[in-house]
Chain A
Amino acid sequence: MVYAQYVPLIILLPLLSFVVLGFWGKKSLKPMAGMVGTTVLLVSCALACYTAYQYFTLNGAYQPVIAIQGTWLEFTPTLSIDMGILLDPASVMMLVVVTFISLMVHLYSMGYMKQEERKGIFFAYLSLFTFSMLGLVISTNIFQIYMFWELVGVSSFLLIGYYYDRPSAVAASKKAFIVTRFADLGFLIGILILGFQAGSLDFQTIIERVTNTNSEQYANLVGTHYLGISLLTWALVLIFMGGAGKSAMFPLHIWLPDAMEGPTPVSALIHAATMVVAGVYLVARLFPLYHLAEGAQNIVMLVGVTSAVFAAIIACTQTDFKRILAFSTMSQIGYMMFALGVSGYGGESGLGFSASLFHLFTHAFFKSLLFLAAGLVIHVAHTNNVFEMGGMRKYAPVAHATFLIACLAIAGIPPFAGFFSKEEILTAAMYYSSTVYVLALITSGLTAFYMFRLYFLVFWHKEASVHSHHSEGCLSQKLPLVLLAIASILAGFVPFSQYVSADNKPFHAELHLSQAIAPVAVALLGISIAFALYKKESSKSDQFARAMGSLYLGARKKFYIDELYLFVTQKVMFNLIGRPAAWIDRNIVDGMVNGMAAATAGFSSAIKGLQSGRVQQYALYFFGGILALALIFLYIWK
């Protein structure tokens, strides 16, 4: 097997770059920090593409390959935490996506962050993130994935808080970290339940044991109930809680819009294309188990649909450029989630699984493109508010063209990438249930509407009021846009289901033209409404908003979810739990310690008069003591 020789390099090179830039990026390597990071990523990306080529040119079913496996921490001879590299279609696909997007973002950042004082550190963090994400993707066991899962969380925290002199960025980074950590609590408990019951942490072993309905582990997991729900469902729901936190699924999504405080390339890499789809990837990894536990799979489906619709509605009313894109990301990840939720297992019925990862694949390209183009436009316009932009097509022509391509792709207009993946998801949804299908269709229309609302507001709407002296940016910023735009056009033509499927057996996903009519029509409708309302400056959009009444207002305020969280944490948890706990700590725990100190001090001040400094008094005490002892020995002790 040739993989073992160079696959570790794909992952370890970014780590090396992190270490080098972390040590020397502040001083000696600062001018060429971007160069170092980008070169390393270029090598990584080339190796990843070569691996994918090698892997997928094998014939027939794509068997999972374990490139490297070593025991890291042994608990018992049968239960240990391993470190290894697992190559299967999904992980190889993710290797390519992560390294490619990361390479584009590195390239873009070379121009974007040129003026930054701390760019050495920035590139070091980017490398750390890339390393962690790649490690997450190739994990062979659930504990390894958990460790890298936390590592991506840390790098996300560091990068959101990169502008640490802005209080909002600091608050956003804390929020992101705390919310995802809270979700990871569920993840950890889920891992422990599953690992304990299955007697292994290894993905393949767990799946092998639990899917075998005659096995002891299956009987334990399905037969043992807690609160009327089987242990398997509990474990999977808790693991999904971790995934939902990382993937910003409703109701754990509140950190994602705030995370946009980070630099734009970071939003493109972490909060659009790679880290936030980790939840989808996790569910896909354990998909055979989710398929066994119908309850857990239904929860995945419900949360996915809710997030998709919910975020799409909010995105229609927001005014911050990057937050609109953030809600769009959330909506699209909801799409991927419910595609997993409606999927069957094996052969044609596994369409939802393939479609989900296909959408993950295409979405990575056009969403990171949207963010990178947004970065250019924000740089030119000097504002994040889309209503203060307008007419940007003259100032940022490259961004305009590529943004349009990405918008068409996300709206699902053929022949752009999003059309193919979305069509597969919708087909899978249609086979599952008509309610889900209709909701998905509505989301699709809303997606087209808010993306083109954004597009028209930014690039048309009115003549540019800002006369910017900033140019659109240098070649290193434009090149990634063009490359990603090409990818956004071509990625849809990849026969994805022939490579990635639930049971690793390729199948042919038919593209039914009759089923494609409805989504495209809905998308075109959305685009035309956006065109009518926002192409020219007019009062039509305000009238429309007023007609929607409280729905508009609620969506504008993100349905008060943030306020709800604030209420729950500050009013309920602080007052009911925090304050009594603080009282106990202050008065009882501290009181005991302070009381002992006070008693000692009081006793000592009471007896300190004995030490008078007079020798004869001491002699008297001594004599008194002897006398007392003599009496004791004479009369009492005998």
Chain B
Amino acid sequence: MNEIPVTHILFVSTGLFFIGMYGLFTRRNMISMLMSVELILNSVNINFVVFNKYLYPSRLDGIFFTIFIITIAAAEAAVAIAIIINLFRSHQSIDVDTASELRF
């Protein structure tokens, strides 16, 4: 079986990144924004894994980084959901546009 060229996988990860970016900027719902951030993180994970596999197949550094990022992302999701819950309690909504008091 022919190996999939590295550029194909990079196209996927770039697409994933920009989908996440698009979601982050356009969604007003904070849960959706959180999910978009997860997409961005995952696109980075893919990059790590791909470069590890294609450039240094004998080493595991990129994979370790990926595991590390997944762990961080889990913690980050916990923090983000806590923030969202607090926001909901104070504003009865999780729309980020309602929480714009910190302005000039």
Q: Nearest Cβ distance between residue A622 and chain B, in whole angstroms?
A: 11
Contact B100 A616 (CB under 8 A): no
- Chain B residues lying within 8 Å of A601, measured Cβ to Cβ, are none
- Chain B residues lying within 8 Å of A615, measured Cβ to Cβ, are 96, 99
Interface residues on B, range: 10 to 19
Q: Out of A609, A614, A616, A619, which one reaches B104, CB within 8 Å?
A: A609
Closest Cβ neighbor of A604 among chain B residues: B104
Q: How far, in whole Å, are A614 and B103 apart by their CA atoms in the complex?
A: 8
Q: Is residue B21 within 8 Å, beta carbon to beta carbon, of the partner chain? A: yes
Closest Cβ neighbor of B26 among chain A residues: A616
Q: Is residue B54 within 8 Å, beta carbon to beta carbon, of the partner chain? A: no
Q: How far, in whole Å, are A614 and B104 apart by their CA atoms in the complex?
A: 11
Closest Cβ neighbor of A620 among chain B residues: B25
Q: Nearest Cβ distance between residue B68 and chain A, in whole angstroms?
A: 21
Kindly name the residue among A609, A612, A613 whose own CB sees the greatest number of chain B CB atoms within 10 A: A613
Q: Is residue A435 within 8 Å, beta carbon to beta carbon, of the partner chain? A: no
Contact A619 B25 (CB under 8 A): yes
Q: Out of A608, A614, A620, A623, which one reaches B96, CB within 8 Å?
A: A614
Contact A613 B102 (CB under 8 A): yes
Q: Is residue A539 within 8 Å, beta carbon to beta carbon, of the partner chain? A: no
Q: How far, in whole Å, are A188 and B44 apart by their CA atoms in the complex?
A: 81
- Chain B residues lying within 8 Å of A214, measured Cβ to Cβ, are none
**Interface 1/0 per residue, A609-633 and B, CB below 8 Å:** 1011111100110010000000000
Closest Cβ neighbor of B28 among chain A residues: A616
Closest Cβ neighbor of A615 among chain B residues: B96
Interface residues of A in 582-609 (CB under 8 A from B): 608-609
Q: Out of B33, B96, B99, B104, which one reaches A611, CB within 8 Å?
A: B104
Q: How far, in whole Å, are A484 and B99 apart by their CA atoms in the complex?
A: 94
Q: Nearest Cβ distance between residue B21 and chain A, in whole angstroms?
A: 7
Kindly name the residue among A611, A612, A615, A623 whose own CB sees the greatest number of chain B CB atoms within 10 A: A615
Contact B25 A616 (CB under 8 A): yes
Q: Out of B25, B101, B104, which one reaches A608, CB within 8 Å?
A: B104
- Chain B residues lying within 8 Å of A613, measured Cβ to Cβ, are 99-103
Closest Cβ neighbor of B96 among chain A residues: A615
Contact B103 A616 (CB under 8 A): no
Q: Is residue B3 within 8 Å, beta carbon to beta carbon, of the partner chain? A: no
Contact A616 B102 (CB under 8 A): no
Q: Nearest Cβ distance between residue A136 and chain B, in whole angstroms?
A: 67
Q: How far, in whole Å, are A613 and B102 apart by their CA atoms in the complex?
A: 5
Contact A612 B103 (CB under 8 A): yes
**Interface 1/0 per residue, B31-57 and A, CB below 8 Å:** 001000000000000000000000000
- Chain A residues lying within 8 Å of B100, measured Cβ to Cβ, are 612-614
**Interface 1/0 per residue, B3-33 and A, CB below 8 Å:** 0000000000000000001001100000001
- Chain A residues lying within 8 Å of B99, measured Cβ to Cβ, are 613, 615
- Chain A residues lying within 8 Å of B102, measured Cβ to Cβ, are 611, 613
Q: Nearest Cβ distance between residue A174 and chain B, in whole angstroms?
A: 53
Q: How far, in whole Å, are A430 and B33 apart by their CA atoms in the complex?
A: 113
- Chain A residues lying within 8 Å of B97, measured Cβ to Cβ, are 614
Q: Nearest Cβ distance between residue A616 and chain B, in whole angstroms?
A: 6
- Chain B residues lying within 8 Å of A619, measured Cβ to Cβ, are 24-25
Q: How far, in whole Å, are A608 and B102 apart by their CA atoms in the complex?
A: 12
**Interface 1/0 per residue, A512-553 and B, CB below 8 Å:** 000000000000000000000000000000000000000000
Q: Nearest Cβ distance between residue A229 and chain B, in whole angstroms?
A: 70
Q: How far, in whole Å, are A613 and B101 apart by their CA atoms in the complex?
A: 6
Q: How far, in whole Å, are A191 and B16 apart by their CA atoms in the complex?
A: 89
Q: Nearest Cβ distance between residue B14 and chain A, in whole angstroms?
A: 14
Q: How far, in whole Å, are A620 and B103 apart by their CA atoms in the complex?
A: 16
Closest Cβ neighbor of A611 among chain B residues: B104
Q: How far, in whole Å, are A614 and B27 apart by their CA atoms in the complex?
A: 12
Closest Cβ neighbor of A610 among chain B residues: B104
Q: How far, in whole Å, are A608 and B104 apart by their CA atoms in the complex?
A: 6
**Interface 1/0 per residue, B81-104 and A, CB below 8 Å:** 000000000000000110111111
Q: How far, in whole Å, are A612 and B96 apart by their CA atoms in the complex?
A: 12
Q: How far, in whole Å, are A612 and B103 apart by their CA atoms in the complex?
A: 5
- Chain A residues lying within 8 Å of B21, measured Cβ to Cβ, are 623
Closest Cβ neighbor of B97 among chain A residues: A614
Interface residues of A in 181-203 (CB under 8 A from B): none
Q: How far, in whole Å, are A611 and B100 apart by their CA atoms in the complex?
A: 10
Q: Nearest Cβ distance between residue A609 and chain B, in whole angstroms?
A: 7
Q: Nearest Cβ distance between residue A461 and chain B, in whole angstroms?
A: 85
Closest Cβ neighbor of B100 among chain A residues: A613
Q: Nearest Cβ distance between residue B82 and chain A, in whole angstroms?
A: 16
- Chain B residues lying within 8 Å of A608, measured Cβ to Cβ, are 104
Q: How far, in whole Å, are A612 and B102 apart by their CA atoms in the complex?
A: 8
Q: How far, in whole Å, are A371 and B47 apart by their CA atoms in the complex?
A: 107
- Chain B residues lying within 8 Å of A611, measured Cβ to Cβ, are 102-104
Q: How far, in whole Å, are A615 and B101 apart by their CA atoms in the complex?
A: 11
Contact A616 B24 (CB under 8 A): yes
Q: How far, in whole Å, are A382 and B90 apart by their CA atoms in the complex?
A: 84
Closest Cβ neighbor of A619 among chain B residues: B24
Q: Nearest Cβ distance between residue B50 and chain A, in whole angstroms?
A: 20
Q: How far, in whole Å, are A249 and B103 apart by their CA atoms in the complex?
A: 73
Q: How far, in whole Å, are A609 and B103 apart by their CA atoms in the complex?
A: 9
Q: Nearest Cβ distance between residue A627 and chain B, in whole angstroms?
A: 11
- Chain A residues lying within 8 Å of B33, measured Cβ to Cβ, are 616
**Interface 1/0 per residue, A157-188 and B, CB below 8 Å:** 00000000000000000000000000000000
Q: How far, in whole Å, are A615 and B96 apart by their CA atoms in the complex?
A: 7
Q: How far, in whole Å, are A619 and B104 apart by their CA atoms in the complex?
A: 17
Q: How far, in whole Å, are A620 and B100 apart by their CA atoms in the complex?
A: 16
- Chain A residues lying within 8 Å of B104, measured Cβ to Cβ, are 608-609, 611-612
Q: How far, in whole Å, are A620 and B25 apart by their CA atoms in the complex?
A: 7
Q: How far, in whole Å, are A608 and B33 apart by their CA atoms in the complex?
A: 26
Q: Can you name 22 A-B pairs with beta carbons within 8 Å?
A: A608-B104, A609-B104, A611-B102, A611-B103, A611-B104, A612-B100, A612-B103, A612-B104, A613-B99, A613-B100, A613-B103, A614-B97, A614-B100, A615-B96, A615-B99, A616-B24, A616-B25, A616-B33, A616-B96, A619-B25, A620-B25, A623-B21
**Those 5 A-B pairs whose CB atoms lie nearest each other, nearest first:** A613-B103, A613-B100, A608-B104, A611-B104, A615-B96
A-binding residues in B (CB < 8 A): 21, 24-25, 33, 96-97, 99-104
B-binding residues in A (CB < 8 A): 608-609, 611-616, 619-620, 623
Extra 14 A-B pairs, beta carbons < 8 Å, given A613-B102, A615-B96: A608-B104, A611-B103, A611-B104, A612-B103, A612-B104, A613-B100, A613-B101, A614-B96, A615-B99, A616-B24, A616-B33, A616-B96, A619-B24, A620-B25
